[in-house]
Amino acid sequence: MSRVLIAGLVMSMLVLACGQQEPGEAEPARLPEPDHVASPGAENLIPRELLFGNPEKVGPQVSPDGEQIAYIAPADGVLNLWVMDRDGGNVRQLTFDDNRGVVDYFWAEDDTHILYMQDQAGEEDTHVYRLDVETMEVTDLTPWDGVKAFVSATDEHQPNTVLVEMNRNDPMFFDVYSCDLVTGELTMLQENPGQDENGDIIVGYANDEQLNVRMYVGIDPMTGDLSYWVRDTPEDTWRLLMSATALDQVGPRQFSEDGAAVYMTSDLEANTTQLYLVDLATGGQTWIAGDSLSDVGGISWDPFTGEPRAVSYNYLRRRVEVLDERLQEEYDFLVGFHDGEFAPVSRDRADSTWIVLYSTIDNPAEYYVYDRTSGEMEFLFTAIPALEQYEMADMEPLLIESRDGLQLPSYLTLPKAGEPPYPTILLVHGGPWARDYYGYDPFCQLFADRGFAVLKVNFRGSGGFGKSFLNAGNKEWGAAMQDDLTDAVQWAIDEGMADPERIVILGGSYGGYAVLAGVAFTPDLYCCGVDFFGPSNLVTFRETVPPYWRPMDAMFDIRVGSLTEDREMLEERSPLNYVENITVPMFIVQGANDPRVVKAESDQVVAALREQGNEVLYAVYENEGHGFMMEPNRLDFAARTEEFLYLSVPGVECEMFAPVEGATVHLE
């Protein structure tokens, strides 16, 4: 129920296959010396800066009164907040950040302030900032070092109040505060005691539409089972509403307007999550919507009744189900107005003005202002207009069958030139309980333009495809989850699409782990690997996660493996313990301040590889965490990755590499 804008890079890479060798059978791989700094056809390539640089404008939000539109745009290479009148006039820069930029923001209900969350160096200790749109005065509402804070709720009927959650009292647990926007005063509404009377760990609270804390979720520290507790008023005692096992996916989405019920998504009665209205007095559930292939995704709510009016699902492509028949004609109009997938991303208080986003393979975002009264659509701006000068590669959704019969939703991007079999990159998503989607992807476009085919695979354990698919990945890191990736590569080879001698594996976070696992456990399959922010040892990874992940230890025991009961398995699944198998060129990337996968995870595998004699390119980015926020670092990373692949994979193109001014990188 919190407002969250995910910012950063999602990356993908290609997998190169070489003939299998027993450990110690051959000399470790060496990076070849460059014959030239760019490929012969480099002048015709899509510029890397267009794909990985800052967008021109992005993220528009209309003010509640409908009079102004805020948006994100760069100033001196750093993303900042800007505002303009509804008609496009009176453009003004609002923030003047010169560090990591401002990307996570929204209008307060008072029409006067904008609230945004920002950390300082990638450590994810976000502060909540109040920005006065008229005076441009910025106030840090949570000015404590080492504290993570975020805004979780607002209410248009209480425009001067927002709910803020932060872990100031205990780094493991978030308390709920009411914040007076006028004075900045914080008042504790709900302290998280850590555990409830039953011994369950309290992992989160939910509020109703009047900003009363009405629900908490507890997790059994031994079994991971979940319980959902509610109360009618903040003065009442908590009572159990419903329970779920650790293998189920159940969660609150929004309270009804009258506070008598809560909308929840649940897979207790189906394989995929369905949307229900749950009566708080009786626990009775009314089914509203659901899909047999994919979980409930985004929900559009009626701002006046609080009822859901549209639900999205995404199996291979996004599908929207309109629940309010009064909106069907408008949604039909929006579908036909422009190519690509659309979503209303902002509205005014009257619900008469929408900002509508269209996303295509060719461009991540094109925005229009939709006047619901007149039915007119007015172009606002495009995120990266210069991409229109270039031909983008198509992406094909497809299903790949695993060795044990699972259907793996996947996406294939082919180069515009050349003939199969192609050099191929297996781009592995992070999470791992996240997923890949159809749509614009800068890595797919970069590498397809350079001559690679790019394959993205939703392996078992990926989220969004129902609990059977999700739970099939439990304790399968480096095992069946990795087998799915191997099977997808083999499918591409068998289809004649992928050249088995030129397959690259590339990925970040869990995808980075999969890269290390791929080159360690299937050393015959890949010719090189690019790992960014990936754990190398599952034991040390679990021992060093952020403190606010600790309440979910029981869930990690189930999904990854227990540090006590499964320690031997975790060691066996850790690529660090099999570095003697890795003989291909490796590029390893780390954020110096990453709180999720700490720098030691990369340090230890780089040291072990070098001790084996493997030449490893190791880039550490200061002022970054679990991803890239700073444009110079994104550009430097993309350039080094492109050069690394050009030197490691025959027959591909490359734009000239040059050090990026302002990048905070050092090679270790």
pLDDT confidence band for 12 (50 / 70 / 90): very low
DSSP category for residue 207: E
- Banded model confidence at residue 40, pLDDT cuts 50, 70, 90: low
- Is residue 196 over pLDDT 70? yes
Residue 2: predicted pLDDT: 33
User: What distance in Å separates the CA atoms of residue 42 and residue 44, rounded to the nearest whole number?
Assistant: 5
* CATH code (residue 76): 2.120.10.30
pLDDT at 24: 35
SS (H, E, C) 283-349: CCEEEEEECCCCCEEEEEECCCCCCEEEEEEECCCEEEEECCHHHHHHHHHHHHHCCCEEEEEEECC
Residue ending a domain, among 132, 157, 182, is 157
- Residue 183, Cβ density class (10 Å: 0-12 exposed, 13-18 middle, ≥19 buried): exposed
Taking the CB of residue 270, how many other CB atoms lie within 10 A of it? 15
* Chain segment 501-517, per-residue pLDDT in tens: 999 999 999 999 999 99
User: What DSSP line would sit under 66-98, residue for residue?
Assistant: SSEEEEEEEETTEEEEEEEETTS-S-EE-----
Give the model's pLDDT for residue 615. Answer: 84
- Does residue 188 lie in a domain region? no
Contact 533, 506 (CB under 8 A): no
CA 575 to chain centre: 24
Supply the pLDDT for residue 22: 31
**In sequence order, which ranges of 320-440 are alpha helices (DSSP H)?**
328-337
Residue 626 annotated in active site = yes
For 9, residues 6+ apart whose C-beta sits below 8 A from its C-beta are: 52, 442, 508, 627, 628, 634, 637
Tell me: pLDDT of 135 over 60. Answer: yes
| pLDDT number for residue 37 | 56
Are 240 and 229 spatial neighbours (Cβ–Cβ below 8 Å)? yes
Among candidate residues 267, 291, 499, 594, the one labeled active-site is 594
Out of 178, 256, 509, 602, the active site residue is 509
Cα angle at 534 between 532 and 539, to 5 degrees? 165
Answer yes or no: 359 catalytic.
Answer: no
CB distance 355 to 380 below 8 Å: yes
Task: Share the mean pLDDT of the chain.
Answer: 93
The string of pLDDT tens digits covering residues 305-319 is 999 999 999 999 999
What does the pLDDT read at residue 185? 98
Residue scoring higher pLDDT (37 or 582): 582
The Cα–Cα gap between 141 and 149 comes to: 9
Q: Which residue has the higher pLDDT, 656 or 455?
A: 455
Residue 465 has pLDDT above 50, yes or no: yes
Does residue 312 form part of some domain?
Answer: no
| pLDDT on residue 41 | 65
Told to judge if 12 belongs to the known catalytic residues of this protein, a careful annotator would answer: no
With cut-offs at 50, 70 and 90, classify the pLDDT of residue 416. confident
> The domain spanning residue 397 has which CATH number?
3.40.50.1820
Could you say which of 157, 177, 196 is where a domain stops? Answer: 157
Q: Which of 24, 9, 70, 13 is nearest to 511 (CA)?
A: 13
CA neighbor of 540 nearest in space, from 558, 508, 556, 563: 563
Q: How confident is the model at residue 663 (pLDDT cuts 50, 70, 90)?
A: very high
pLDDT in tens, 77-124: 999 999 999 999 999 999 999 999 999 999 999 999 999 999 999 999
What is the average per-residue pLDDT within 430-456?
A: 97
Domain boundary among 157, 177, 210: 157
State mean pLDDT over 117-136.
97
Whether residue 186 lies inside any domain: the answer is: no
Q: When comparing pLDDT for 9 and 390, which is higher? A: 390
The total number of structural domains in the chain stands at 2
In terms of residues, how long is the chain?
A: 668
Q: What is the dihedral of CA 15, 17, 21, 25, to 10 degrees?
A: -70
Query: How confident is the model at residue 5, as a pLDDT?
Result: 31
Q: How far is CA 234 from CA 33, 208, 217, 258, in A?
A: 68, 11, 16, 15
User: Is 385 part of a structural domain of the chain?
Assistant: no
The parent domain of residue 152 ranges over 56-157
Per the domain annotation, does 443 fall within a domain?
yes
pLDDT higher than threshold 70 for residue 659: yes
Asked if residue 475 is part of any domain, the answer here is: yes
434 pLDDT higher than 80: yes
**Taking residues 602-628, what's their average pLDDT?**
96
Instruction: Give a yes or no: residue 118 inside a domain.
Output: yes
Q: Rounded to whole angstroms, what are the CA distances from 129 to 102, 134, 626?
A: 10, 15, 22
Per-residue model confidence (pLDDT) at position 80: 98
Query: Which tens digits make up the pLDDT trace of 322-360?
Result: 999 999 999 999 999 999 999 999 999 999 999 999 999
Answer whether residue 202 is part of any domain.
no
Residue matched to tokens 């099977």: 487
